[in-house]
Structure 1
Amino acid sequence: MLIFTIVFLLVLFVLYKLMLIVPMREVHVIERLGKFRTVLEPGFHFLIPFFDRVAYRHDTREQVLDVPPQSCISKDNTQLEVDGLVYLKVMDGKLASYGIENYRMAAVNLAQTTMRSEIGKLTLSETFSERDRLNESIVREIDKASDPWGIKVLRYEIKNISPSRHVIHTLEKQMEAERRKRAEITLASAEKAAMINMSEGERQEAINISEGQKQKRINEAKGTAAEIAIIAKAKAEGMNMVAQALAVQGGTDAMNMQLKEQFIKQVGNILEQAEVSVVPAELARLEGFFEGMDKVTQGLAPKA
């Protein structure tokens, strides 16, 4: 019974060494007697017990490696602390096993050195504004260097770019000055626009006033012309009627009578309103006649 148990366990051990199931997310590197034999893809496989062994197992999914923070110097001699993430994938299990000792550590170190080199080509402001281009440059350089390792660098993402405290203080002052400058520019632009609007308003007001005065004078001139025309027309019609009346028999006598009445009426008005004695010419001559007769009478009287 003991022998049967030992034989059964030995058979199970041989079967365990004979059969190999590779999971879907992995590839296995097989060595035969210490020498590379093949790379097994996911699925069921048979091995030669005691000759074949699984030397390496690699995850074929995309892997994310954390790049620790490191100090970098920008083109304008500004000290920065930068960290990031590198995304890679194993493309060749054989090269990933024998091309490099530890491709994860190598990828992280290469990402750090490449990041320092690329940041040294940019100024401080460019490291913030050109982050996408910086990521692309780092991916391109890492992928070129890691090609013999059997891995593919898919992308690189910078997480944080942290300047030193002194640089942050300087940047804060610069941003404050920039905001003050923009505020002053905005205020000056507003004042300029207000002055322009006021001058345009005054100009338009002056134009409107001059147009109104011009139209007023035109209207007054038209009214005066119309009035003169109406008066002239009325006078012409009156003269015409007078001429027609004089042509009729007895018209001249009627005209003379009308003139005498008007004369008497005007003389009466003058006598009422005048502050001095106004006497018609005929009455003046009559008064002079009586004064002369009085003087003659006084001359003829006998002297005592």
Structure 2
Amino acid sequence: MPTALIILIIIFAVIAIILISGIRVVNQTTKYVVERMGAYHKTWGVGIHWLIPFIDRVATVVTLKEQVKDFDPQAVITKDNVTMQIDTIVFFQVTDPKLYAYGVDNPIFAIESLSATTLRNIIGELDLDATLTSRDIINEKMRQILDEATDPWGIKVTRVEVKNIIPPKDIREAMEKQMRAERERRQTILIAEGEKRAQILQAEGFSESTVLRAEAAKREAILKAEAEAEAIFKTKEAEALGIKLIKEAAADDAVLKIKAFEALAKVADGQSTKIIVPSNLADLAGTVTALAEVAQTKTTKKNTSNNQ
């Protein structure tokens, strides 16, 4: 094989390698900032691109994903001259790769420095209590200021979060004592309210039980009175019925005198120490004698009949 042909093949191989090495594939979430002869040429998006060897070069590869940077704690001084440590987290996204590549040198360091100065300015307008209770306000103010400042750099700050606030040791101890005192106060109040509630419930229970007992006694007395009234009514009704039956039977004086004598006998057989004798006792005795003779006559006649 001639030497010239070998050299030609080598030259073509080198040229092919150079041309192939200029092929670039850009992913979905990245952008390529391309320079030509040292000046900005264009920004490549997703797809296949060819880089002219020795003329074009990729200056910066920029990711379009949202990025998170956790910065070191910064020493800040509050309005009431309390020094504390605050660290923040910044969420940002590149919106213009060209501005990001040429707007500022080391954008991450620029954001960190800007975040520190902004935080000091905001905290300097707040006292300690406001700083500890106004995280949302601090976050929103920092986001607005950082977003406006980073706009010329092709960066959009989407969110800022105060990660941690570290007051001095003596302030932390005082806050812990205050929290313990507050918890003890709340506990005392809860115990007092519980005791008060228990006493109220006990008094209400005693009052309700008294009312119930009074109502029960009232119902018992009413039922007892109704029973006695019913008994008296039944007794009087029976007496009235007896008198009515006697009247309907047309009882004569002899029957009435016998009933009176029977009543007198019952009284005599009782436990009474006094007996009231009626004024017509003699007539009553005569009547009894007559009845006895009649009864004896009937008995004699009966015996005679039996003997015959």
- 1:1-304 correspondence to structure 2 within 5 Å: 4=7, 8=11, 15=18, 19=22, 21=24, 23-24=26-27, 25-32=30-37, 34-41=38-45, 43-47=48-52, 49=54, 52-74=56-78, 77-122=81-126, 124=128, 127=131, 130-244=134-248, 247-248=250-251, 251-260=252-261, 262-263=263-264, 266=267
In the alignment, the residues of structure 1 paired with residue 14 and residue 236 of structure 2 have an alpha-carbon distance, to the nearest angstrom, of 146
In the alignment of these two chains, the number of paired residues is 271
Alpha-carbon deviations, 1:172-207, whole Å to 9, x = none?
A: 112111211221222122122212211221221122
Scaled by the length of structure 2, what TM-score is found? Answer: 0.71
Offset at residue 266 of structure 1 (A): 4.4
Alpha-carbon deviations, 1:38-64, whole Å to 9, x = none?
A: 334454234363x55544444444333
Change in CA separation of 1:13 and 1:178 when aligned onto 2, cut-off 3 Å: farther
In the alignment, the residues of structure 1 paired with residue 17 and residue 256 of structure 2 have an alpha-carbon distance, to the nearest angstrom, of 164
Change in CA separation of 1:225 and 1:78 when aligned onto 2, cut-off 3 Å: farther
* SS at 1:152 equivalent: strand
Superposition CA RMSD, Å: 3.8
Change in CA separation of 1:273 and 1:55 when aligned onto 2, cut-off 3 Å: closer
In the alignment, the residues of structure 2 paired with residue 13 and residue 265 of structure 1 have an alpha-carbon distance, to the nearest angstrom, of 154
Offset at residue 109 of structure 1 (A): 0.9
Q: In percent, how many aligned pairs have the same letter?
A: 33
In the alignment, the residues of structure 1 paired with residue 187 and residue 199 of structure 2 have an alpha-carbon distance, to the nearest angstrom, of 18
User: Residue 49 of structure 2 aligns to which amino acid in structure 1?
Assistant: F
In the alignment, the residues of structure 2 paired with residue 59 and residue 46 of structure 1 have an alpha-carbon distance, to the nearest angstrom, of 19
* SS at 1:68 equivalent: coil
Alpha-carbon deviations, 1:62-89, whole Å to 9, x = none?
A: 3332311112234555433111222323
Please say if residues 17 and 48 of structure 1, whose CA atoms lie closer than 8 Å, have aligned partners that are also in contact.
Answer: no
In the alignment, the residues of structure 2 paired with residue 182 and residue 169 of structure 1 have an alpha-carbon distance, to the nearest angstrom, of 20
Please say if residues 93 and 155 of structure 2, whose CA atoms lie closer than 8 Å, have aligned partners that are also in contact.
Answer: yes
What residue number does 1:285 align with?
none
In the alignment, the residues of structure 1 paired with residue 15 and residue 219 of structure 2 have an alpha-carbon distance, to the nearest angstrom, of 120
**Structure 2: runs of 5 or more not aligned:** 280-308
In the alignment, the residues of structure 1 paired with residue 267 and residue 151 of structure 2 have an alpha-carbon distance, to the nearest angstrom, of 132
**Which segment drifts farther, 157-166 or 219-228?**
157-166
Scaled by the length of structure 1, what TM-score is found? Answer: 0.72
**Which segment drifts farther, 114-123 or 7-16?**
7-16
* SS at 2:104 equivalent: coil
Alpha-carbon deviations, 1:116-146, whole Å to 9, x = none?
A: 3334455555555553453333222111110
Offset at residue 164 of structure 1 (A): 1.6
* SS at 1:159 equivalent: strand
Please say if residues 139 and 162 of structure 2, whose CA atoms lie closer than 8 Å, have aligned partners that are also in contact.
Answer: yes
User: Residue 86 of structure 2 aligns to which amino acid in structure 1?
Assistant: V
In the alignment, the residues of structure 2 paired with residue 262 and residue 20 of structure 1 have an alpha-carbon distance, to the nearest angstrom, of 145
Change in CA separation of 1:269 and 1:158 when aligned onto 2, cut-off 3 Å: closer
Please say if residues 29 and 94 of structure 1, whose CA atoms lie closer than 8 Å, have aligned partners that are also in contact.
Answer: no
